[in-house]
Amino acid sequence: MSLLLIWACGEGSPAMLSGDPGEGAAIYAEHGCVACHGPEGSGASAPSLIEHVPCHTDEELRMVLRGDRPEMPDQHLDTQQTLDVLAWLRQQFGDFRGEEDPICAEFRQGL
């Protein structure tokens, strides 16, 4: 919980590099994400990105993409690829709606 507070109150991680959503879309299609999350991100064997991306902070998404979830195999993305995918996820599925959002509040209890 304290970590979440630091993220919420801090400035977030300053974006030294910026992501290219076009590159991110290509990575999503070519890197195997599509096999588990579906072409539209609506979920297949893996959860729906449409529902879950807006309930994650950027930092959480970065950590998932860098392989901190045992259920999702590490995709071995480098820093630029991670930023690109993050930019695309945000463009496609929306920004973090905040912890007060009722749907996100429930989802985040299970994190």
Identified binder of ligand HEC from the candidate list 26, 75, 97, 108, rule CB under 6 A:
75
The CA distance from 95 to 12, in Å, is 14
Taking contact as CB under 6 A, which single stretch among the options 2-10, 11-19, 60-68, 98-106 is the one that binds ligand HEC?
A: 60-68
Residue 91 binds ligand HEC (CB under 6 A): no
Q: Which of 85, 87, 96, 104 binds ligand HEC (CB under 6 A)?
A: 85
Q: Judged by CB under 6 A, which of 2, 3, 11, 71 binds ligand HEC?
A: 71
Taken as a whole, the chain contains a residue count of 111
- Of the candidates 42, 41, 44, which has an alpha carbon nearest to the alpha carbon of residue 28? 41
Amino acid at 79: T
